[in-house]
Amino acid sequence: MKKVPRGLIIAISVGVLAGLTLGFFVNSQSNHEQLVFQLGPSISIVTEKIDFELGEQIYIKIVNSGTVPLTFSDASYGLKVTGLDGVLFYTPMAAQVISTLEPMEEKTFVWDQKRMDNSASLEGIYKIIVEGFDHDNNKVKKSIVINLLK
């Protein structure tokens, strides 16, 4: 019976530990950093995951993660879904009324992956953007990226 080289045992052990460490790091970074509360104006976008199947409903939560009220030009709370190139695919139909989101308040929208022309979205990478204003009329903007997969 041959003896296993010591270097091979060390290399495999280091590889396993590195894989576990990287796995825990990637898992902890996935969606948990979507919601971070901070002082001053801040907005966050939260989805239950990053990768969605084609046709799956996507729940998009907009959260005032700051300490000051935010205002929006309409009842869609500045929500847009675009391609990475900025082409608009979806924005909710909304009344043209000034809307306010108080600190720690949230609004949830559901995107059924339909485009503005009611056609189905294709597989790919999409950007969810929310844009509002603080009490000094400074723009407060946040975006996240999601994947639509077959």
First to last CA, the chain: 49
* Prediction pTM value: 0.76
pLDDT confidence of residue 51: 97
Residues 139/133, Cβ–Cβ less than 8 Å: yes
Tally the residues of the chain.
150
Confidence class of residue 21 from pLDDT cuts 50, 70 and 90? low
pLDDT of 32 reads 47
Residue-wise pLDDT for 76-92, tens only, equals 999 999 999 999 999 99
User: Model confidence over 46-80: pLDDT tens digits?
Assistant: 999 999 999 999 999 999 999 999 999 999 999 99
pLDDT at 37 over 70: yes
Across the range 119-140, mean pLDDT stands at: 96
- pLDDT tens readout for residues 99-115: 999 999 999 999 999 99
Residues in CB range of 148: below 8 A, 6 or more apart: 52, 53, 54, 113, 121, 122, 123, 124, 125, 126
Question: What confidence tier does 33 reach under pLDDT thresholds 50, 70, 90?
Answer: low
Phi and psi of 86, rounded to 5°?
Answer: 90, 0
Phi, psi dihedral angles at 101 (to 5 degrees):
-120, 110
| H/E stretch holding 29 | helix 6-29
Kindly indicate the confidence band of residue 125, based on its pLDDT and cuts at 50, 70 and 90. Answer: very high
Sequence-separated (6 or more) residues with CB below 8 Å from residue 114? 90, 120, 121
